[in-house]
Amino acid sequence: MDESLSDALVGTTLGSFKLTKVLGRGGMGTVYLGEHAIIESRVAIKVLIDRLALDESLVARFYAEARAVNRIGHENIVNIFDMNLVPPHTYYLVMEYLEGRPLNYLLSDPVAAELAIPILLQVCDALQAAHNAGIVHRDLKPENIFLTKRGRVDNFVKVLDFGLAKLLDTEHAPGQTAVGLIVGTPEFLSPEQANSSPVDGRSDIYSLGCIAWLLATGRLPFQQRGLADLLVAHRNVMPKAPHEVNPRVSKAWSDAIMRAIAKEPVDRFQTALDFGKALESAL
């Protein structure tokens, strides 16, 4: 499925589901709304891009997403129900369909702590579960934090797209990430990622700290243009504390964010749980 022709799949059937429209596109695949012909249930179906499907290591990473999510099993992480192949090389995942919007829809202005921190706390819970399972997300960004409604909770979080997730134990297949390859989204990369160094859960904490800085101030912590300048900034530049940019941000919230984005992993919160505790205290 070439990206320029990806809409050609709309109207076709994968497994028991008819693909009715495109929901979104990512670096590894296109996500479609799938509807069951008989019971009319709806799912999201991620189809691996054709040109990537010819690379065995990328197919392995695509399947690793399903294994990673299944292994974590947390309510704040999107569920994946099935994965399959339509010969010769149409690989796809069947996931829960979510109604709502990604976090970036809130980001035109600073977001009040009363709204932002409960969202960040749910992401911390999801990350803690992932890290406990030996999995680092490695591409945390507002587009991968989806807000839906569950019961009386308006902004129930679902963390998406573990397609770049890395298993930290021996089950991780060697060679899935090439040496020197920068993986992630430049605006939210940890310094370790910017250096193509090994990462652990503290890298996700840094990325979430950048997201928290953005929520608190309404702008990115690093606004350099171009990949090279962004990488240098993540390695060497500390942004202003959020309370200095937006006086409405409390010192406690600002301090928690600045600790999360410390350049050295040892200087950050060591767990997502600890970051969550600091955020909760700030709230």
Q: Is 20 helix (H, G, I), strand (E, B) or coil?
A: strand
* Phi, psi angle pair for 171, to nearest 5°: -75, -15
Q: Record the tokens describing residue 170, joined without a space.
A: 């021996």
Q: Find the catalytic residue in 139, 161, 200, 267.
A: 139
Annotated active-site residue 139? The verdict is: yes
- Pick from 98, 86, 78: which is nearest to 48 by CA? 86
Give burial (CB, 10 Å; 0-12/13-18/19+) of 18. middle
Rounded to whole angstroms, the Cα distance separating 107 from 88 reads 42
Q: Which of 162, 166, 163 is nearest to 177 (CA)?
A: 166
Q: Angle at the Cα of 141 (from 129 to 90), degrees rounded to 5?
A: 85
> Are 274 and 260 a contacting pair, CB within 8 Å?
no
Q: Which of 54, 212, 233, 60 is nearest to 127 (CA)?
A: 212
State the residue for tokens 């990537």: 52
- How many angstroms separate the CA atoms of 278 and 128, rounded? 14
Identity at 276, one-letter amino acid code: G
The β-bridge relationship of strands 90-96 and 100-102 is unpaired
Task: Enumerate the active-site residues.
Answer: 139
